[in-house]
């Protein structure tokens, strides 16, 4: 038995519930399933050690820890194939094949993983893992625990009750079915306490326990229902008629033997009790060592990713010598501590949003002497203000911040400018792991520094603020802000080390380059765009809101007229009841809340049934969404008559920017009604018009460049209609003879391939059969073999590396590429196809924004960049600057990245966003 340590992380659920949760895992059962679920040829170390069973087991364990968040945890193993059962019946499990050669040694490696994860391992001589689990489960249930058993052995079903659930692998080890009392009775027709009886009658081939010939689960369940138990069946065996009864009487001895052997022993003397199994998390150093030996880099990252957010208190805080500076003290502190070349951690508190911010306080921290200070801007005298302004604006005095963009806005609103940004730790953490859901400083501090955002107290328990003599605990806000400044400073070094470790074969860290040359400079550009905002026509928005409100009512009334009664069209539950119960339409995909009635499901239903209520439901959904958008836009208009969205750099794993409060990235463009929303965005006062510029077919151009397909490159370089040109090659006709239908099919293909489009998906888009779609894809790849080879190669490379990367080296980690869950693996494969292309497009538009911004400033133009929406930029054009602005925008966007095909830039202008389209 291996006991747990008490010095690592634990899941959040442990502190959120008063009822302990024990997870028990059948080690050999899960390991064997993992071995056969993952192809051994794809999983081995550089030394040749197979690791597919270890990988699958560890992957399953990480997922279950994430999903179930147990407070207590143990893995039980068989000691050998011999047990008290083999002594009573020598043929027990005798039919099992020899252990596969490649499986040898992997159980001991699983043991090493469990030791690193500080998971208790329990065995019992002469007994099986099932018996160990049964004993622990019964003891835990009696002590008030909730118990989860993860096993592929159905004998464990006899343990299930209101306190015990079996997590039974349905496929491989990644899909687990929750076998509750209801689930077992539904599947087998008997309650859990009678499953042992059913198994005795039917037999278990894996244990070499033959059942009654001709008797299956249904017959066995019927007998149990009629006679209550095995004992009842034995007592009435002569009354059971037919061939099945004869067979039962002939094999009754086998049934009684099976019944004796499949009983799980639940009263073993064990070296641990359930309370001894509390899981306190893993050992960081040991995890690093074991996972590195097994070359499980991707799994290690997944372990940290999935279980990093619920951090326990770290053992250490931060050493801090803090000072709250009074009037006249700022210049002296800066002179003593913030000298040129010395990195300074900066933390700011205040209110942020809508393109501005209010500065409440500011803290600085340096490494030397762990010095930190807290500054209240309202207490500064003239000399303080001048000294602090000079420090902030000095390029030679490096600053480290966490999420610098809102700080830039707040400082600007206060009249200060920030220069010399050395590291933005939020952006750095995003580049290290772009799939994180959040980049909270406290979480990152524990993850990378193993420190909490708290001060280390001296032995006397009183850490004081220099110069004031007040206990630091009495000034919690000042303390916390200084701690954030200090943590940011230390975190910057740790994250830069992580990015440096991602260097390629040339020794260059593209992550560091992206941080320094792209993301951090871009945050300044985005801050200026947020501060400027875009003008909105509120009168027009109000008219539009009234229009869509009327359309919502009209579509609802039309639906009422069809079905003859009123109902809530916005309620999924009422839509389900109407469509699938009252109208009896074919049921859609099942979800946790019933059958889905989303727009895709309604559209499919309409295509298959043509029921007259469905167009009105679809119309209601469309106009309700548009009305909601307009309402949100109206609420977002600031006092200056402009909408100030907030751009997010750390949301999309591919590198794309996102927009929030309001989200201007999702303003519709494909429908005429959707485009009406764009008319609400207008040229600002004092400017002549809006100018829009976007890349034409940028993702397909990147595909051509990355694949190197000569035919695709030629199709772009001819300057002709790209989709017609590619269609001409696929259908072997002159470009002038390509029909609209042929062009439409190849256009869907061109765009879909970059997103992992399948034959099934293409058939759905084009309304053709899957066989026709497959044939079309075959013809396409026959003409564009370079594209086919690239798409295959990029997934294979990502599976080997564990990540994809863009042309500029932006990485995205995809651990599910090796999942034995087909759906998750295929999703990861689609991401692997798309991430390099969409991510490269995101990188290119960011480069273009930086270049355009720089040229506008160098040229002294008054025109300004307002929005970025995917591949499109929107500008306010100052009087007399139209020609010069268009020329520099075309040039800088067109030359943002060298490709083997030209970057085509389309430009339009007008008084509003809609008319400026092109």
DSSP conformational letter for 449: I
For position 250, what pLDDT does the model report? 83
Q: pLDDT higher for 174 or 230? A: 230
CA distance 380 to 307: 44
Taking residues 578-606, report their average pLDDT: 81
In 3D space, the residue among 881, 861, 877 whose CA is nearest the CA of residue 909 turns out to be 877
Q: pLDDT higher for 538 or 570? A: 538
For position 780, what pLDDT does the model report? 81
For position 472, what pLDDT does the model report? 41
CA distance 426 to 440: 8
CA distance 657 to 870: 7
Instruction: Select the highest-mean-pLDDT range: 1-5, 360-364, 767-771.
Output: 360-364
Q: Which stretch of DSSP H or E encloses residue 646?
A: strand 646-648
Q: What digits encode the pLDDT tens for the residues 467-478?
A: 333 434 447 788
For position 315, what pLDDT does the model report? 54
Please check the confidence at residue 246 and state whether its pLDDT lies above 60: yes
Q: Is 104 helix (H, G, I), strand (E, B) or coil?
A: coil
* Preceding peptide of 336 cis, ω within 30°: no
pLDDT band at 316 (very low <50, low <70, confident <90, very high): low
Q: Strands 316-318, 811-813: parallel, antiparallel or unpaired by DSSP? A: unpaired
Query: Given the structure tokens 């009392």, which residue do they identify?
Result: 181
Q: pLDDT higher for 593 or 149? A: 149
Q: Map out the domains of the chain with their CATH numbers.
A: 13-181+265-305 (3.40.50.1010), 313-503 (3.30.420.10)
Q: What is the largest CA-CA distance in the chain?
A: 106
What does 460-486 look like in DSSP terms, one character per residue?
Answer: TS--B-BTT--BGGGGHHHHHHHHHHH
- Looking at the DSSP bridge assignments, the partners of residue 131 are none
Asked whether the beta carbons of 522 and 849 are under 8 A apart, the reply is yes
CA distance 801 to 658: 28
Q: What digits encode the pLDDT tens for the residues 6-31?
A: 333 334 333 345 789 999 999 988 99
% helix, strand, coil for the chain, step of 5? 55, 15, 35
Q: Given phi > 0 = left and psi -120 to 50 = alpha, else beta, which region is 709?
A: beta
Percent of the chain with pLDDT over 70: 91
Q: Is 210 helix (H, G, I), strand (E, B) or coil?
A: strand
Lowest mean pLDDT among 261-270, 431-440, 514-523: 431-440
Q: pLDDT higher for 67 or 776? A: 67
Task: Give the distance, in angstroms, between the CA of residue 599 and the centroid of all CA atoms in the same chain.
Answer: 24
Structure tokens at 797: 């490379």
For position 591, what pLDDT does the model report? 59
For position 911, what pLDDT does the model report? 96
Lowest mean pLDDT among 13-22, 365-374, 419-428, 572-581: 13-22
Q: Which stretch of DSSP H or E encloses residue 431?
A: helix 425-432
382: Cβ–Cβ under 8 A, 6 or more apart, which residues? Answer: none
Taking residues 559-584, report their average pLDDT: 91
Please check the confidence at residue 428 and state whether its pLDDT lies above 70: yes
CA distance 305 to 438: 11
CA distance 284 to 293: 14
For position 765, what pLDDT does the model report? 72
End-to-end CA distance of the chain: 70
User: 528: exposed, middle or buried (C-beta count within 10 Å: 0-12, 13-18, 19+)?
Assistant: middle
CA distance 722 to 696: 10
Taking residues 148-161, report their average pLDDT: 92
Beta strands in 325-388 (DSSP E): 344-353, 356-365, 371-375
Taking residues 254-283, report their average pLDDT: 88
Taking residues 503-512, report their average pLDDT: 82
Q: What digits encode the pLDDT tens for the residues 360-409?
A: 999 999 988 789 999 999 999 999 999 999 999 999 999 999 999 999 99
Task: Give the distance, in angstroms, between the CA of residue 409 and the centroid of all CA atoms in the same chain.
Answer: 29
Asked whether the beta carbons of 613 and 583 are under 8 A apart, the reply is yes
- Looking at the DSSP bridge assignments, the partners of residue 591 are 594
In 3D space, the residue among 443, 612, 641, 441 whose CA is nearest the CA of residue 535 turns out to be 641
Please check the confidence at residue 543 and state whether its pLDDT lies above 70: yes
For position 6, what pLDDT does the model report? 35
Beta strands in 199-252 (DSSP E): 203-204, 209-210
pLDDT band at 336 (very low <50, low <70, confident <90, very high): very high
For position 468, what pLDDT does the model report? 34
Beta strands in 788-869 (DSSP E): 803-805, 811-813, 864-869
Q: Is 539 helix (H, G, I), strand (E, B) or coil?
A: helix
For position 482, what pLDDT does the model report? 93
Q: Strands 399-401, 344-353: parallel, antiparallel or unpaired by DSSP? A: parallel
Please check the confidence at residue 459 and state whether its pLDDT lies above 70: no
Q: pLDDT higher for 823 or 420? A: 420
For position 824, what pLDDT does the model report? 62
Q: What digits encode the pLDDT tens for the residues 90-133?
A: 676 665 656 787 887 788 889 989 998 999 999 988 888 899 99
In 3D space, the residue among 331, 431, 443, 441 whose CA is nearest the CA of residue 391 turns out to be 331
User: 635: exposed, middle or buried (C-beta count within 10 Å: 0-12, 13-18, 19+)?
Assistant: exposed
For position 285, what pLDDT does the model report? 65
Please check the confidence at residue 895 and state whether its pLDDT lies above 90: yes
Q: Is 72 helix (H, G, I), strand (E, B) or coil?
A: strand
For position 881, what pLDDT does the model report? 97
Taking residues 787-794, report their average pLDDT: 88
CA distance 540 to 680: 6
Structure tokens at 59: 């992957």
Lowest mean pLDDT among 386-390, 556-560, 698-702: 698-702
Q: pLDDT higher for 729 or 444? A: 444
- In total, the chain counts a number of residues equal to 918
Number of C-beta neighbours around residue 792 at 10 A: 12
Q: Given phi > 0 = left and psi -120 to 50 = alpha, else beta, which region is 60?
A: alpha
Asked whether the beta carbons of 155 and 139 are under 8 A apart, the reply is no
Taking residues 874-903, report their average pLDDT: 96
For position 94, what pLDDT does the model report? 62
Please check the confidence at residue 727 and state whether its pLDDT lies above 60: yes
pLDDT band at 590 (very low <50, low <70, confident <90, very high): low
In 3D space, the residue among 700, 708, 759 whose CA is nearest the CA of residue 726 turns out to be 700
Asked whether the beta carbons of 436 and 648 are under 8 A apart, the reply is no
Please check the confidence at residue 480 and state whether its pLDDT lies above 80: yes
Please check the confidence at residue 332 and state whether its pLDDT lies above 90: yes
Please check the confidence at residue 602 and state whether its pLDDT lies above 60: yes
Please check the confidence at residue 767 and state whether its pLDDT lies above 80: no
For position 778, what pLDDT does the model report? 85
pLDDT band at 746 (very low <50, low <70, confident <90, very high): confident
In 3D space, the residue among 614, 601, 618, 633 whose CA is nearest the CA of residue 551 turns out to be 618
Asked whether the beta carbons of 821 and 174 are under 8 A apart, the reply is yes
Q: Given phi > 0 = left and psi -120 to 50 = alpha, else beta, which region is 809?
A: left
For position 11, what pLDDT does the model report? 40
6: Cβ–Cβ under 8 A, 6 or more apart, which residues? Answer: 280
User: 460: exposed, middle or buried (C-beta count within 10 Å: 0-12, 13-18, 19+)?
Assistant: exposed
Please check the confidence at residue 630 and state whether its pLDDT lies above 90: yes
Q: Strands 209-210, 203-204: parallel, antiparallel or unpaired by DSSP? A: antiparallel
Asked whether the beta carbons of 911 and 683 are under 8 A apart, the reply is yes
Model confidence, pTM? 0.70
Q: Is 153 helix (H, G, I), strand (E, B) or coil?
A: coil
Q: What digits encode the pLDDT tens for the residues 836-879?
A: 999 999 999 999 999 999 999 999 999 999 999 989 999 999 99
Beta strands in 216-300 (DSSP E): none
Report the chain's mean pLDDT, rounded to a whole number.
Answer: 86
Phi, psi angles (nearest 5°) of residue 313: -65, 130
- Looking at the DSSP bridge assignments, the partners of residue 318 are 455
Taking residues 699-707, report their average pLDDT: 91
Taking residues 477-483, report their average pLDDT: 90
Asked whether the beta carbons of 693 and 873 are under 8 A apart, the reply is yes
pLDDT band at 527 (very low <50, low <70, confident <90, very high): very high
For position 742, what pLDDT does the model report? 82
CA distance 410 to 358: 5
Q: Is 328 helix (H, G, I), strand (E, B) or coil?
A: coil
Please check the confidence at residue 174 and state whether its pLDDT lies above 90: no
Query: Given the structure tokens 């075309």, which residue do they identify?
Result: 890
Lowest mean pLDDT among 153-157, 303-307, 345-349: 303-307
- Looking at the DSSP bridge assignments, the partners of residue 371 are 321
For position 548, what pLDDT does the model report? 95
């Amino acid at each position: 038995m291996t006991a747990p340590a008490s010095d690592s992380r634990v899941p959040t659920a442990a502190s959120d519930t008063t009822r302990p949760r024990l997870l028990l895992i059948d080690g050999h059962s899960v390991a064997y399933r993992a071995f056969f679920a993952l192809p051994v040829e794809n999983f081995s170390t550089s030394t040749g050690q197979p690791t597919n069973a270890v990988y699958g087991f560890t992957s399953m364990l990480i997922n279950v820890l994430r999903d179930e968040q147990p407070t207590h945890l143990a893995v039980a193993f068989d000691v050998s194939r011999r047990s008290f059962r083999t002594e009573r019946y020598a043929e027990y499990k005798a039919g099992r094949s020899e252990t596969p050669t490649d499986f040898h040694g992997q159980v001991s490696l699983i043991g090493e993983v469990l030791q690193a994860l500080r998971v208790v391992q329990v065995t019992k001589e002469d007994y099986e893992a099932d018996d160990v689990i049964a004993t622990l489960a019964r003891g835990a249930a009696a002590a008030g625990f909730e118990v989860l058993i993860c096993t592929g052995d159905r004998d464990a079903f006899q343990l299930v009750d209101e306190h015990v659930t079996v997590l039974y692998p349905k496929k491989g080890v990644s899909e687990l079915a929750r076998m509750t009392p209801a689930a077992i009775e539904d599947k087998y027709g008997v309650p859990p306490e009678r499953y042992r009886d059913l198994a005795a009658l039917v037999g278990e081939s894996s244990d070499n326990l033959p059942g009654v010939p001709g008797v299956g689960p249904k017959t066995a369940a019927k007998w149990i229902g009629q006679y209550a138990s095995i004992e009842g069946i034995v007592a009435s065996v002569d009354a059971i008629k037919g061939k099945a009864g004869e067979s039962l009487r002939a094999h009754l001895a086998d049934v009684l033997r099976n019944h004796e052997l499949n009983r799980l022993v639940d009263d073993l003397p064990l070296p641990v009790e359930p309370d001894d199994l509390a899981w306190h998390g893993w050992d960081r150093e040991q995890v690093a060592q074991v996972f590195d030996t097994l070359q499980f880099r991707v799994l290690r990252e997944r372990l940290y990713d999935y279980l990093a957010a619920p951090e326990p208190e770290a053992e250490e805080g931060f050493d801090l010598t803090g000072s709250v500076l009074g009037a006249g003290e700022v210049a002296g502190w800066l002179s003593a501590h913030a000298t040129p070349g010395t990195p300074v951690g900066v933390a700011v508190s205040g209110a942020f949003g809508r393109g501005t911010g209010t500065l409440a306080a500011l803290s600085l921290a340096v490494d030397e002497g762990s010095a930190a200070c807290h500054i209240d801007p309202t207490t500064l005298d003239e000399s303080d203000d001048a000294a602090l302004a000079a420090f902030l604006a000095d390029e030679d005095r490096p600053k480290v911040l966490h999420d610098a963009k809102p700080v830039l806005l707040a400082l600007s609103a206060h009249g200060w400018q920030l220069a010399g940004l050395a590291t933005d730790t939020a952006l750095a953490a995003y580049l290290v792991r772009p799939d994180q859901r959040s980049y909270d400083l406290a979480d990152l501090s524990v993850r990378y520094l193993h420190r909490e955002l708290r001060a280390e107290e001296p032995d006397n328990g009183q850490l004081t603020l220099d110069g004031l003599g007040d206990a630091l605990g009495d000034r919690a806000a000042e303390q916390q802000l200084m701690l954030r400044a200090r943590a940011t400073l230390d975190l910057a070094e740790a994250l830069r080390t992580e990015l440096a470790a991602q260097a390629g074969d040339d020794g260059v860290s593209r992550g560091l380059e992206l941080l320094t040359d792209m993301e951090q400079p871009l945050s300044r550009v985005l801050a200026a765009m947020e501060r400027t905002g875009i003008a909105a026509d509120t009168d027009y928005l109000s008219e539009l809101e009234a229009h869509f409100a009327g359309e919502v009512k009209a579509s609802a009334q039309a639906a009422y007229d069809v079905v003859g009664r009123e109902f809530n069209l916005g309620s999924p539950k009422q839509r389900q009841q109407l469509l699938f119960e009252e109208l009896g339409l074919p049921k859609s995909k099942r979800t946790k809340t019933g059958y889905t009635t989303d727009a895709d499901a309604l559209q499919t239903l309409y295509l298959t049934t043509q029921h007259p209520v469905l167009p009105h439901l679809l119309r209601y959904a469309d106009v309700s969404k548009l009305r909601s958008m307009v309402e949100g836009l109206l609420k977002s208009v600031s006092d200056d008559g402009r909408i100030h969205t907030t751009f997010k750099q750390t949301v999309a794993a591919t590198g794309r920017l996102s927009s929030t409060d309001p989200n201007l990235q999702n303003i519709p463009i494909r429908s005429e009604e959707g485009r009406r929303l764009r008319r609400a965005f207008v040229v600002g006062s004092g400017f002549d018009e809006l100018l829009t510029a976007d890349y034409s077919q940028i993702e397909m151009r990147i595909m051509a460049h990355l694949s190197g397909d000569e035919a695709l490159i030629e199709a772009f370089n001819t300057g002709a209609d790209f989709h017609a040109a590619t269609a001409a090659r696929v259908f072997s006709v002159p470009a002038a003879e390509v029909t609209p239908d042929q062009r439409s099919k190849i256009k869907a293909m061109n765009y879909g391939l970059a997103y992992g489009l399948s034959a099934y998906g293409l058939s759905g888009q084009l309304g053709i059969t899957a066989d026709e779609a497959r044939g079309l894809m075959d013809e396409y790849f026959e003409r564009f073999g370079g594209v086919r080879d690239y798409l295959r190669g990029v997934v294979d490379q990502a599976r080997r590396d564990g990540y994809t990367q863009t042309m500029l080296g932006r990485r995205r980690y995809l651990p599910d590429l090796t999942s034995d869950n087909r759906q998750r693996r295929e999703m990861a494969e689609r991401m692997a196809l798309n991430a390099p292309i969409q991510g490269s497009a995101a990188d290119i538009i960011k480069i273009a924004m930086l270049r355009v911004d720089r040229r506008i400033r160098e040229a002294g133009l008054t025109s300004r960049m307002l929005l970025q929406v995917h591949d499109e930029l929107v500008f306010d054009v100052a009087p007399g600057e139209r020609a010069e602005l268009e020329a520099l925008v075309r040039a800088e966007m067109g030359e943002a990245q060298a490709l083997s095909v030209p970057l085509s830039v389309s430009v339009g202008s007008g008084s509003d966003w809609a008319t400026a389209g092109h």
